[in-house]
Structure 1
Amino acid sequence: MTAAPDRYRPVRRMLARDQGESHRVSTPLELFFDLCFVVAIAQAGRELAHALAAGHLSVALTGYLMSFFAIWWAWMNFTWFASAYDVDDVPYRLTTLVQITGVLVLAAGIPRLFEDQNLTLSVAGYLLMRLAMVTQWLRAARSESGPGRTAALRYAAGITLVQAFWVVVVFVPHGLVAPLFPVGVIAELAVPVWAELHNPTPWHRHHIAERYGLFTIIVLGETVAAATVAIQTALDEHRAVSELLPIAAGGLLICFGAWWIYFAEDAHPYLRSVRQALPWGYGHYLIFASAAAVGAGLEVAVEHAVGAAHISDLAANAAVTVPTALFLFTVWALHSRHHKHGVAQLILPLAALSVLAATPAGAAGVPVAGLLVALAVAIGITLSAKNPKRS
């Protein structure tokens, strides 16, 4: 009788993967992990849309930035760890499923976070994800030696310490939550910088670029889904076809253009060191958050068009144009500026400014924004075709 394939062993040593491994692609477990995060993203987007439609800008921004940070940071930490230490054994899979459970608990707590900054349920889910991550790093530390062991122990210690801080935040007076939250964010962001200092983990740049690309697709897909549901609901209740079709067209152009722009260039050639990868990875908070916020903005625009949102035309358009412009500018900062030259270097920054300029355009704001994004794509394609080596 032949032995079972190595990857099916019940327990394996948590050894680092080869950074030069060929055909390193996302695993089914990673894809399942991403898909489950859609629940939390959808919840955050829904609450953002409701708060914006009600004219509660401060509540909307505070709740969204806080909840999306928890979603993104838990996803990011798993992604980079899995790029270096995915052994796909039974303990690894079970621990990952615990993390998925944590994001579902976090998602359940997002409405309370928006309503009155009640962090209890969201922090409970976040702790479940993060402490499960600690056990993964401790497994890696037991199997590693030298710099790899040092990095793993630093990650485990740093993550544990910051989670103790979040527990304290849950019990402080309500008025202190907002001032203390940025302190926790800075502490979370500092852990990888400290852990990777002189002890870089063996993440795989092709794998990381693919993982971020797949999550971008998921977020854009959620944006399309949210806008579709909003339009269908409005049609069922108001039958305002003439008002909704331009918004639908503009929203689709924005989503399609966002996909095209993000994947116009490969990211992995730029990810050659931790110094380059950390700002790139951290910067994707703005890409993911803005892409998801476009969907919420389209919901707001739809509600405003049928009279269900009692806000100004300017506010309704800004719910779409501001995150769209932020997406364009951040993609330029993280991707395009490293590959473009000459006039092509200016396309996305100018497109971002043009989209913002469309905000006061009344009922035409969203469709005009969509056309501007499509125009940016068309100009980029034309320049690339004329001068592929210098675009």
Structure 2
Amino acid sequence: MGGIRRPRSTDHVRPGRPAFPAGRPRPTRGADVPVRMRARHRDEAHRAATPLELFFDLCFVVAVAQAGRQLAHALAEGHWGHGVSGYLMLFFAVWWAWMNFSWFSSAYDTDDPLYRVVTLVQMAGVLILAAGVPRAFVRSDFTVIWFGFLVMRLAMVAQWLRAALGSAGAERRTALCYALGVTVCQVGWLGLLVLPRADVPWVFLVVALLELAVPVLAERARQTTWHPHHIAERYGLFTIIVLGETVAAATLAVQAALDEHEELGSLLPIAAGGLLVVFCAYWIYFAVPIHLHLRSNRQAFVWGYGHYLVFASAAAVGAGIEIAVAQAFGKTRLSTAAAAACVTVPAALFMFTVWLIHSRHQKRGPAQQLVLPVSSVLVLVCTFAGRWAVLAAGLVASATVAVGVTLTARQGTALAE
């Protein structure tokens, strides 16, 4: 017929076959129109973090800062058990809320109005959680934190239900399992409010294990299509945010000490050493590309869950520097070694954990593999270096970077020859 030809429809595409070429983002109807939420392609090219994701991450700065500040106060007063346990519990809440959204967005980010609004609701929940951190830490009153978590989880369940509506078969079962698991765990956190305070650690441990089990169980039906390069970038950006908060906390501690005492002699070794530790932490983390290692959930679960210690230890370094500054001017009853341990222990833990879950997958040969484990032990030994402990730890971290760069360069030269 000589009439106008109709545009080709994609309705003829058989189920299971993408309507658009793999490796390219699925076209949408524009940012002003809600679209059907479908899984993004795992091999999508040029996938990067969005401005909304960066905004989401920045909201966690407040929560990380609150947790670090409370840890510093508790340790400075000598409450080691309460300080460490409280910090680990509260940081788990912060980290888990961030991680839930990050992996979901890697697989289902549509960036349409509905997705943005629901994400903004989650961000409001993060700020509520951050406001409840001091009350939970000091009084074991988790009411505000639970409510903030509730706001975030309602939004997260809504996102998973929307994903279920836009999918079928095993993919739908995965989304529904996530929605159900998140709901059940949120009810479980009520135990923090209704049970005696003595039971709080046990309630936390049980429900935290349930939270960790939800992704493992949900993805048995079908692995979500998270993007390796995108998720590696998301974790890297959050690492930068945590290290940035560490720098901010240390800077404020040094500034307060200078304003009060105007004495540089005691501050310079701590400030210089702390800065070297943070700068080297950045270098060590980003020394290797990790996205090539993340081939499936088998690698991703260990890598993703292990970052709880990476993030928590990085943030704790800032609290440790605060304590070291306070001890230098007699603002705490801690001994010099105890104050130094508040820096060296989390710094060593960061280095070892980064090697264990991150760097070792790209290292070649015994020499490269041993650099970070040996350095983490040497950083711990610096605890006993007296008033020079933090500076000594910074110098060890700097030597670690230098040795790592040298070995990598030699390996590259050997391969070229």
Which of 71, 77, 81 is 1:58 aligned to? 81
- The one-character-per-residue Cα deviations of 1:64-90 (angstroms, maximum 9, x if unpaired) are 101100000000010000000001111
Do the aligned partners of residues 183 and 382 (structure 1) sit closer, same or farther apart at CA in structure 2, a change above 3 Å counting? same
Higher RCO by CA contacts (8 Å cutoff, separation 6 or greater): 1
C-alpha deviation, 1:178, in angstroms: 1.3
Root mean square deviation, CA, Å: 1.3
Q: Which residue of 2 aligns with 1:155?
A: 178
- The one-character-per-residue Cα deviations of 1:146-172 (angstroms, maximum 9, x if unpaired) are 111011000000010010111233111
Which of 5, 11, 25 is 2:48 aligned to? 25
C-alpha deviation, 1:390, in angstroms: 7.8
Higher helix share: 1
Q: Secondary structure of 1:296's partner? A: helix
Letter in 1 for 2:298: R
Alignment of 1:71-90 (within 5 A): 71-90=94-113
Is 1:182 matched with 2:205?
A: yes
C-alpha deviation, 1:126, in angstroms: 1.2
Is 1:327 matched with 2:370?
A: no
Q: Which residue of 1 aligns with 2:251?
A: 228
C-alpha deviation, 1:9, in angstroms: 3.4
Which of 287, 312, 329 is 1:306 aligned to? 329
C-alpha deviation, 1:5, in angstroms: 7.3
Q: Which residue of 1 aligns with 2:59?
A: 36
* Structure 1 residue ranges without an equivalent (≥5): none
Between 265-274 and 89-98, the greater mean CA deviation after superposition: 89-98
- The one-character-per-residue Cα deviations of 1:228-287 (angstroms, maximum 9, x if unpaired) are 010000100111211001100001100110000000000101000101101100000000
Find the structure with the greater CA-based Rg: 2
Aligned mates of 2:99, 2:414 — CA distance in 1: 33
The TM-score, its normalising length taken from structure 1, stands at 0.97
Alignment of 1:359-370 (within 5 A): 359-370=383-394
Aligned mates of 1:102, 1:302 — CA distance in 2: 33
Letter in 2 for 1:163: Q
Do the aligned partners of residues 164 and 360 (structure 1) sit closer, same or farther apart at CA in structure 2, a change above 3 Å counting? same
Aligned mates of 1:81, 1:163 — CA distance in 2: 18
- 2:108–2:163 contact (8 Å) kept in structure 1: yes
Is 1:206 matched with 2:229?
A: yes
Alignment of 1:243-262 (within 5 A): 243-262=266-285
- 2:185–2:210 contact (8 Å) kept in structure 1: yes
- The one-character-per-residue Cα deviations of 1:270-323 (angstroms, maximum 9, x if unpaired) are 000101101100000000000000001001111111111121111100100000
- 1:24–1:207 contact (8 Å) kept in structure 2: yes
- The one-character-per-residue Cα deviations of 1:341-383 (angstroms, maximum 9, x if unpaired) are 2211100000000000111111011000000000000000111
The TM-score, its normalising length taken from structure 2, stands at 0.91
Aligned mates of 1:21, 1:199 — CA distance in 2: 19
> Percent identity of the aligned residues?
59
Aligned mates of 1:345, 1:390 — CA distance in 2: 17
* Structure 2 residue ranges without an equivalent (≥5): 1-26
C-alpha deviation, 1:116, in angstroms: 2.3
Q: Which residue of 2 aligns with 1:352?
A: 376
Aligned mates of 2:59, 2:87 — CA distance in 1: 19
Is 1:7 matched with 2:24?
A: no
Aligned mates of 1:29, 1:211 — CA distance in 2: 12
Q: Which residue of 1 aligns with 2:340?
A: 317
Which of 289, 306, 309 is 1:286 aligned to? 309
Is 1:387 matched with 2:411?
A: yes
Structure 1 segments (4+ residues) deviating >2 Å = 4-7, 388-391
